[in-house]
Structure formats: structure tokens, C-alpha cells
Structure 1
Amino acid sequence: MPEQYIGLQEVINKQVEVPQPLLTEEQMQQINFTLIKALYTNKQVCFTYYKNGPCITETGFIQFVDFLGNLFVFIDKVFELKNKMRLVS
């Protein structure tokens, strides 16, 4: 029985895979603006990102933005864990 569940999980994972989206310069600028605005206003943000096949959506608060290192730190809403995300164009 466990083998069946593993097989089913693999089929489900293949169905949610998408090609990695490419962002335009304008889209990257809009993301940067949104991150800065959320940081300074302490507003909750919902964002979707690509991770090795599927797109994942998370909700949380921006804690830090590092444009030189192309990353930001956010606290997720569910578990209140600190996460680092890379900004890649």
C-alpha cells in the first residue's frame, strides 16, 4: 500500500509542475516597490514563487530587504517562521 501512495504523490507532483516564469524588468521593479512598501507599512503580503517545478503561494510580513544581495526576509503567517527568499530575474 505505501508504494501506491508514493506513486500517486509522484503523479500529483508532475501535474502541478510548470516551467520557470521569466520576469520583465518592469515586473521586477514592481516587485521591488511592493516589497519596500510592505516593509515600511508593515502590511501583510501574499506572493507566489517558483520552486523546482511548482509555484508556491505564501502569506507573511516583510522583515528585511537587501537589494545588493537580491534577497528579502519574511515572517510567514502560519508558523511565524523567518524565511529568506532570493530575488532572481
Structure 2
Amino acid sequence: MEYRGMKKWRPFATMPEQYIGLKEMINKQVEVAQPVLTDEQMEQINFTLIEAVHTNKQVYLTYYKRGQCITETGFIQFVDSLGRLFVFIDDVLELKNKMRLNELIDVQFV
């Protein structure tokens, strides 16, 4: 009899497809529907965006992406109301992100 040493036993690690499938199922269960904003909420977001661009104040930005509501902190650099886009500079990595205005859920000053 030969000694094999200490080896970690993982009985289900032989099927990596199973882990991928389970992860997808869990992610689908966590997804939420995109909130529908009222006209008043959209108007308030518009005013806050305009003020944030002109005063260069830091904002909390909540947006909807791939079934999740994400909140980030940063600065609004540019708003294109005709193209329905805006440019957001992330506070952590200082990356420029182009986003659509219809993805926005909430904008508040820090």
C-alpha cells in the first residue's frame, strides 16, 4: 500500500459545468426588474444632473444594469440630452463611463 499524502477531496469538482449552471441560476434569482420612474422623478434627476455639471459636485449615482441596481460615487462631466447620454467619472478608479439616461434611477449630492 502506497501513502498518497494529504489530498483535499472534492467530490463534485469533476463537473465544472455544474458550477457554471448553478451560478447562472443564482444570478437570475437575484435579478430585479428595472424601476419605472414618474415624470417628477425624471425632472428631479434632470435638475440634479444639470446642477452637478455646473457646480462640479460629487454625486451618488444609482443606475440599472443587467438586472441589478448599482450605486457609485463620482462626478458628472457631460450630459447630452439629445443623444440621451451622459459621462460619469468614477470616484474610485477615475474612469470615464458613458451611460444612457434611461438607465438612471436616482442622482443625489454627497
**Normalising by structure 2, what TM-score?**
0.70
What percent of counterpart residues are identical?
75
User: What do the CA deviations read for 1:28-75 (whole angstroms, capped 9, x no partner)?
Assistant: 111111111111111111111111211111111000011111111011
Q: Give the Cα separation in 2 of the matches to 1:9 and 1:46.
A: 29
Unaligned runs of 5+ in 1: none
Does residue 13 (structure 1) correspond to residue 27 (structure 2)? The answer is yes
What SS does structure 2 have at the residue aligned with 1:88? Answer: helix
Match among 50, 58, 78 for residue 36 of structure 1: 50
**Normalising by structure 1, what TM-score?**
0.84
Deviates more, 1:5-14 or 1:36-45: 5-14
Report the RMSD for the aligned CA atoms in angstroms: 1.9
Q: Give the Cα separation in 1 of the matches to 2:23 and 2:57.
A: 35
Find the counterpart in structure 2 of residue 51 from structure 1.
Answer: 65
Unaligned runs of 5+ in 2: 1-12, 104-110
State which structure, 1 or 2, has the greater radius of gyration over its C-alpha atoms. 2
Q: Give the Cα separation in 2 of the matches to 1:31 and 1:12.
A: 32
Find the counterpart in structure 2 of residue 86 from structure 1.
Answer: 100
When the two structures are aligned, how many residues end up with a matched partner? 89
Q: Give the Cα separation in 2 of the matches to 1:43 and 1:7.
A: 43
Q: Give the Cα separation in 1 of the matches to 2:52 and 2:41.
A: 16
